[in-house]
Structure 1
């Protein structure tokens, strides 16, 4: 009896430590998010990382240079600058379409492939990453959710977990940068 109660309690604790967003809720939400359209330009991002207690552990900006080649591969060349904490300075994503709403991507610090799916104005992006912390590295899971505000602005919430328990959360705002030649 005690083992059963312990197991049930442990399951409730662990399941309460994760985030469960249902993408289907956003299927009819607009504006529709197309990562190939949004990121086929220069994008500026501002973000923070908070630990499990809500304490700020990183504050950063990202300059993203995006380009689409052969209408099927999106390259995101990301350059990070930190105001608080430190981390990756450069990452290059290669993202491919795998159907109307499915995507697959790679980057040097991503284990295997990242996978993504669009749900109306939202997109889920899921992957495992080797995350350096002090003098060691941990393999963690990222569950990213992006929502389009309009054609130029998105917000991204990332949940970083280990063993199914959310250890940190990332909030990023991204905005397309328009050149002075751009009539829009």
Structure 2
């Protein structure tokens, strides 16, 4: 019986390792065009339209975003104004720093610590922990955020939200540059 447990554990561990290796990397998109330059795309006014789905697929929140963005050298500010389908509003102001090699860091008032991102080809991957208020409490959840430039005006975004490695849901978003 003990040997069976060891074999089962080894199979599960091996599956987890293989699943981790199969995950896409932002560098997989290096040859994709049009080439995304985050500091150029997020410059000026943008509009975004999105929704949040629970992990089972149920849409629980829809929203729009107006973003006013500007850069001075390698420092950028993305000022986001959210309006949700229930009429509530929220504001998030990102302060980004462009680093060498297509890397970015960022901070915002409800982001725990520092966000880390990398652009490659038409893609950008952004990882951060967001402090979310829910029913009078706050929860720290992790975001694995992928953005893909479709053309010079449109970018699509899919973010997976998780806690303790368990997927809670996804945010889907479409950006349109004025």
What's the TM-score, normalizing by structure 1? 0.86
Unmatched 5+ stretches in structure 2: none
What's the TM-score, normalizing by structure 2? 0.88
Residue 7 of structure 1: CA displacement? 3.7
* Equivalent pair of 1:58/1:85 in contact (CA under 8 Å): no
Aligned to 1:100, the other structure's residue is in SS state: helix
Could you tell me which residue of structure 1 aligns to residue 110 of structure 2? 109
Within the alignment, does 1:67 sit opposite 2:70 as a pair?
yes
Structure 1 residues 67, 159: CA separation in 2 closer, same or farther (over 3 Å shift)?
A: same
- What is the root-mean-square deviation in Å for CA atoms of aligned residues? 2.3
Could you tell me which residue of structure 2 aligns to residue 79 of structure 1? 81
* Equivalent pair of 1:14/1:165 in contact (CA under 8 Å): no
For 1:21-40, list aligned pairs within 5 A: 21-40=24-43
**What is the aligned residue count?**
174
Aligned to 2:114, the other structure's residue is in SS state: strand
Cα distance in 1 for partners of 2:19, 2:50 equals: 25
Unmatched 5+ stretches in structure 1: 178-184
Q: Which runs of 4+ in 1 moved over 4 A?
A: 8-17
* Equivalent pair of 1:39/1:67 in contact (CA under 8 Å): yes
